[in-house]
Structure 1
């Protein structure tokens, strides 16, 4: 045994004996020593040492002694005695409370396609504003500042005097007299406003006297010896609002008034940007007569032919606004709840006909979303009365005769089927209208894409007030009726030498109402005639055609504007093969967006991307209208009235345009078409 172990045992026996002897004494102290040696551990443990390759005594074995042990709440996951317990009980499957997605129905509410950020909250402040009010506020602020400064020096009340040497009381009386305009009643303020507006127009007339003389009387003497025409520049309207002009129109009642709308049809961002509509007059080129603020870009506008103060505005977000220009107040507007377009508005037009006894305001709108919607103003709200969705069918025309009156078209499907069954494809006279018939199977299984509406124009004939033409972004031109929307009267398609680009503009001839002029992105101007599937003539302008318009005074004059800022003026009586005038009307820094010819004055207004409106006057050889001279009265002959003379002149204009149509037909026959 180890000698150390013997000493430990001897010491333990001695202390035990002493404890027994002294235990009889209560006050004896017992010393206990805590050591690292476990007395209960075996002292003769032999283990095999692999390094020495022999058995040796292991003194360190069994020296650990547990004084305190406590089991915590955590257990080792590797312990085999631990069993995992899942506290969550599995929810039982209820077969009676179960539904699949296929059995559920969901009503998808209409929403706008554009996602915009929330508008910043704004507060509208209104009040009177004039020079006298500004003067009063300035004087009042000056007096308050003087009083505050004086009281800081001396607390005594001081009577101040103005710089003019007048007392405060006398100065206050003069200030009240200057601010008396703000105390007038609204009718009196309106009278004063009209007087000031008239004074402003008189000053403008004096300032622009030379331009006004050119507008009224002056003509270039050299035009009498030239075979070509020209456009005389007159006014330039330069608004402070810098934005491209997207649309414009002359007022139907006041020929010197026109409205322009600012905006862009193709938006560069989804955030709405505020825009406006300015109403100008030729009598005041410096400031607009009215300004209408809108919350989005303006893409179309139209004056009401019946209500002179009503202006219809189409926006880039698909909404339509109706304003009262006299009060600058919004009458009504469309919304997602009442119905709206899903893309920007491209065309607006008021309906001239009245359906039954309904005397409400009715108009039609076309949009890039492929829908033509007919609206009615009922109880101050816009209601959709009819909706037409335009598809690109690509079908040829199946022509059949039907009745001309849209009110009597209840059985037109039966009439079409009978006509096709009997192979009556011969077109009759004015008592028939062409119909592009579509079979029901093709309509039901139609998977063709939508086409956007780019232009729209109503026929100017009173007997055909229900007929309108619309152009699409794929080059398709169709005739439709306001009475129904499931069939088209006629389609001018690409297979019949139609347009291959977006049709930007349409215009009906005001004299021969069956002629339709179209201008498109493919640089062609085509003239169609109802009952003819192919154009009777076409002109290549070498640039995309943005807009065109027939003249209201001369039946053979046609104006067309291109993307290269050139204006082409045709007079088919003088030259049937090419334009009579080719002139650049917009500088290179900007691009032409639209134009419109005045129906009363021989002027045309051209708009561009810089927000400028330029007014040009047509030379005399571009407006040679027919003039009837009554022969001398002999015997009992009566002098002709003004209406009879006007009718004679209209007949002369009709002869001019009919001669041109005959020439077109002969030219096509000569070319073998």
Structure 2
């Protein structure tokens, strides 16, 4: 079978021969010029070697191809939610339109409104040409007929002069026509008719009336009350089982309330979900801090024998609280990651508003709860069992109770001038166990010298004055012949952990009073503790006899409440703002100072100095409060700029005794109490060497009265020796003589009596006192060297 191209090749000579006649001869040069096809290059058919040879029947066979305009990228199997059937259903009609190119044109249809306005503005040429034949112009394309010429001539004679000016005016109007501005519009108002008022009246029958008369006497009223009382007794006797109050409350709780869907519930759900998402984002942002909080342990502590460090974690801050000072810190006992922060000011001239904030370790960016107060917050305490109740003391003397469950900005209870509020700032509040009537109550202490018990009864606070602090230590009733002593200013308060009625009160005069709820007229004991105001006093969590105090006189002291003298005294060389016992071990405590440092002590490791001194803020910033977390090994400290910093204790600061293989060490509060008691017993032992930080001596008049044969003196808290082993004690005047020198190598003191002018050798005895040895009469050789406040003596016994 021959293809079409082969047929064309066969017929080509015939075509060429047929076109010979088309050749013409040039007359000038006699050359022949061929046809048009001879100038074109011949096309040669190139057949591929693998081309199939098809028969004519196969070539004539027709194949049907259908072209569809489907979009290959259109989605398939798409579904939509049907609200009627409440189910997802497939979409049958899918849009197959695929736009490959789009070009917006600028052509307008001549009949459109916008085109007409444009033509009217620019003076369309088509309209002008259309009006020229009407005004007498000549149209070259259309021949003029005699009839038309006659009509034009007649019109020209009669009204040519009148129509011409009108056509010119029309053209001028069309040229001067402006396009209307669609954004230039004006408001139009219309008055509607008022609906006419119509009065409708109806007539009803008046209510029936009846006259009633009776007499009321005192005995009739009494009889009515007696009958009512008998009915009540009969009803109560019929009831076999009386349901107590708490069962009624349980029954009320068991009733399933019917919730009505409202917009408020939806908003509450959105707020809860948003809070969870915020915590997730914050945790991812500060993931490195969260990992350090949970797992990091300082490996360098293995190479430090008696030192530890603090690892900074989160820093909590609120923009609106920057000008305020952190005046109180308190952890929640139920939710271990939640703590409260009180904000106010300690300066008298800068008093103003205050704030109460609640932070959580799960979100350090923003507080969980925010309460604004009209006066500065000075102290707060969270209830141990009912963790949503918070007692707060203010600078203006008021106390208040907030309920976190209600989510309201105002407190549910607040004292006023009528309900017995304090007249000076409230420095400490403490929750107590419920009273006999199961009413919640808390205590407060203020600078007005009152220790008050507040009881929550229904919707009011009832107050009871427990004790009034006096400078003399004895409270007397104000009578005509008796002078009322000056009131002392209370600054600190803490209740015993095991004994419910026993509590301590610190004053601005530097004294600590041991008081009881049962005795409101006197103190159980008074400790002359510090030379300046007592900033904090707190009982030990494990030992029932030990408490700690700190003051602005640079000292921290540990006391046994059965002894009037301190067991330990530590000088931190700057004002101490707050101190706190560790809840993990009985021998660890921490203090913060105004120079921005945190001091952590462990008496079982070092009894003379801190095992950690670390600055956590800048030097210009003062630390105000510190608190240990009840479970996690972290502390939080607040400063005078409104910031709260969390720190993690290194392993050396919470060291536990190592367990040997096959040996289980006892654990529990009893073990911690024994550990601290062992340290205290060393101080009470007769052969204990003199502690370096106990240098001064004072007289114990009570023991002098009891002991006639020997005389005793006790330690003073002043740090006179300077902590050196070969340093003599500066001369102190005491009741029985003058301290001349300290022989540190033998742990003895030499004293000269005022009366007998004899020398005495002083040794230590139990109960932190020192016994006087027999007198040394006129030693033969002695030399005293004085340098400023230090003395050294060398004596030989006569």
Q: For this structure pair, what is the TM-score category when the shorter chain's length is used for normalisation?
A: 0.5 to 0.7
Maintained 8 Å contact 2:549/2:579: yes
CA distance in 2, matches of 1:443, 1:554: 53
Maintained 8 Å contact 2:514/2:526: yes
Aligned counterpart, 2:671:
652
Q: Write out per-residue CA displacement over residues 29-48 of structure 1, whole angstroms, 9 at most, x where no aligned residue.
A: xxxxxxxxxxxxxxxxxxxx
Maintained 8 Å contact 2:595/2:620: no
Maintained 8 Å contact 2:450/2:465: no
1:350 is the counterpart of 2:431: yes
> What SS does the corresponding residue of 2:301 show, helix, strand or coil?
helix
Deviation at 1:592, TM superposition (A): 0.9
Aligned counterpart, 2:139:
none
CA distance in 1, matches of 2:446, 2:480: 22
Cα 1:440/1:310, change in 2 over 3 Å = closer
Q: Write out per-residue CA displacement over residues 633-668 of structure 1, whole angstroms, 9 at most, x where no aligned residue.
A: xxxxxxxxxxxx997433322221112112232356
Aligned counterpart, 1:289:
368
1:618 is the counterpart of 2:649: yes
Maintained 8 Å contact 1:319/1:333: yes
Cα 1:486/1:646, change in 2 over 3 Å = farther
Cα 1:222/1:443, change in 2 over 3 Å = farther
Deviation at 1:217, TM superposition (A): 0.5
Which of 506, 527, 533 lines up with 1:492 in the alignment?
Answer: 527
Cα 1:444/1:465, change in 2 over 3 Å = farther
> What SS does the corresponding residue of 1:340 show, helix, strand or coil?
coil
Cα 1:475/1:156, change in 2 over 3 Å = closer
> What SS does the corresponding residue of 1:536 show, helix, strand or coil?
strand
Deviation at 1:628, TM superposition (A): 7.2
1:466 is the counterpart of 2:501: yes
Maintained 8 Å contact 2:468/2:475: no
1:236 is the counterpart of 2:255: no
1:256 is the counterpart of 2:337: yes
Aligned counterpart, 2:538:
507
Maintained 8 Å contact 1:517/1:526: yes
Which stretch shows the higher mean deviation, 324-333 or 208-217? Answer: 324-333
Maintained 8 Å contact 2:337/2:361: yes
Which of 572, 583, 588 lines up with 1:541 in the alignment?
Answer: 572
Gaps of 5+ in 1: 1-148, 158-182, 395-436, 633-644
Deviation at 1:186, TM superposition (A): 3.1
CA distance in 2, matches of 1:569, 1:442: 50
1:193 is the counterpart of 2:271: yes
CA distance in 2, matches of 1:576, 1:582: 15
Which of 681, 684, 689 lines up with 1:662 in the alignment?
Answer: 681
Maintained 8 Å contact 1:627/1:649: no
Deviation at 1:154, TM superposition (A): 7.0
Maintained 8 Å contact 1:592/1:608: yes
Q: Write out per-residue CA displacement over residues 610-632 of structure 1, whole angstroms, 9 at most, x where no aligned residue.
A: 11111111111101245778958
Deviation at 1:439, TM superposition (A): 9.3
Aligned counterpart, 1:48:
none
Maintained 8 Å contact 2:478/2:484: no
Which of 585, 590, 607 lines up with 2:621 in the alignment?
Answer: 590
Deviation at 1:311, TM superposition (A): 1.1
Aligned counterpart, 1:449:
486
Q: Write out per-residue CA displacement over residues 278-314 of structure 1, whole angstroms, 9 at most, x where no aligned residue.
A: 1110110101101011111111111112221111111
Q: Return the TM-score normalized by structure 1.
A: 0.61
Q: Write out per-residue CA displacement over residues 311-352 of structure 1, whole angstroms, 9 at most, x where no aligned residue.
A: 111111001111112333321100001110001110000112
CA distance in 2, matches of 1:460, 1:364: 15
Maintained 8 Å contact 2:397/2:426: yes
Which of 126, 142, 152 lines up with 2:185 in the alignment?
Answer: 152
CA distance in 2, matches of 1:629, 1:186: 61
Q: Write out per-residue CA displacement over residues 9-36 of structure 1, whole angstroms, 9 at most, x where no aligned residue.
A: xxxxxxxxxxxxxxxxxxxxxxxxxxxx
CA distance in 1, matches of 2:562, 2:298: 43
Q: Write out per-residue CA displacement over residues 352-391 of structure 1, whole angstroms, 9 at most, x where no aligned residue.
A: 2x433x1111000011111111111112100112342101
CA distance in 2, matches of 1:560, 1:672: 28
Maintained 8 Å contact 2:470/2:486: yes
Correspondences of 1:333-412 after superposition (within 5 Å)? 333-352=414-433, 354-356=434-436, 358-393=437-472
CA distance in 1, matches of 2:392, 2:476: 37
Aligned counterpart, 2:165:
none
Q: Write out per-residue CA displacement over residues 45-101 of structure 1, whole angstroms, 9 at most, x where no aligned residue.
A: xxxxxxxxxxxxxxxxxxxxxxxxxxxxxxxxxxxxxxxxxxxxxxxxxxxxxxxxx
Maintained 8 Å contact 2:334/2:385: no
> What SS does the corresponding residue of 1:448 show, helix, strand or coil?
coil
Maintained 8 Å contact 1:626/1:653: no
1:600 is the counterpart of 2:678: no
CA distance in 2, matches of 1:384, 1:393: 25
Q: Which runs of 4+ in 1 moved over 6 A?
A: 437-444, 627-630
1:574 is the counterpart of 2:600: no
Deviation at 1:267, TM superposition (A): 2.3
> What SS does the corresponding residue of 1:578 show, helix, strand or coil?
coil
Cα 1:222/1:445, change in 2 over 3 Å = same
CA distance in 1, matches of 2:369, 2:536: 28
1:219 is the counterpart of 2:238: no
> What SS does the corresponding residue of 1:211 show, helix, strand or coil?
helix
CA distance in 1, matches of 2:478, 2:366: 59
Deviation at 1:486, TM superposition (A): 1.1
Larger radius of gyration: 2
Cα 1:154/1:266, change in 2 over 3 Å = closer
CA RMSD in angstroms comes to 2.7
Deviation at 1:273, TM superposition (A): 2.5
CA distance in 2, matches of 1:384, 1:596: 29
CA distance in 2, matches of 1:189, 1:627: 54
CA distance in 1, matches of 2:300, 2:456: 53
Gaps of 5+ in 2: 1-181, 191-260, 691-763, 771-798
> What SS does the corresponding residue of 2:283 show, helix, strand or coil?
helix
